Amino acid sequence: MQWGFFANQPAKLDRDDTIAVRLKRLATMFLRFVTTRIDKNSHKSQGVFAASHALLDSDDLTREEWERLREMIIWFNVNLPSPPKKFDSRRAIFWFKSTAEENIRKVWDLVYILREHGHHVEVQKCRRLGNIVWEDDFQAAAFPSDSDGRISIQ
Return the domain boundaries, the chain: 18-81+90-153
Taking the CA of residue 103 as centre, how many other CA atoms within 13 Å lie in the half-sphere pointing to its CB?
22
- Intervals of the chain under pLDDT 50: 1-13
pLDDT of residue 2: 41
Positive or negative: CA dihedral 140, 125, 58, 143: positive
pLDDT of residue 24: 61
Count of C-beta atoms within a 10 Å radius of residue 142: 21
pLDDT of residue 3: 40
Positive or negative: CA dihedral 4, 9, 12, 17: negative
The secondary structure element, H or E, covering residue 19 is helix 18-27
pLDDT of residue 25: 57
pLDDT of residue 111: 97
pLDDT of residue 104: 97
Contact partners, residue 40, CB within 8 Å, separation at least 6: none
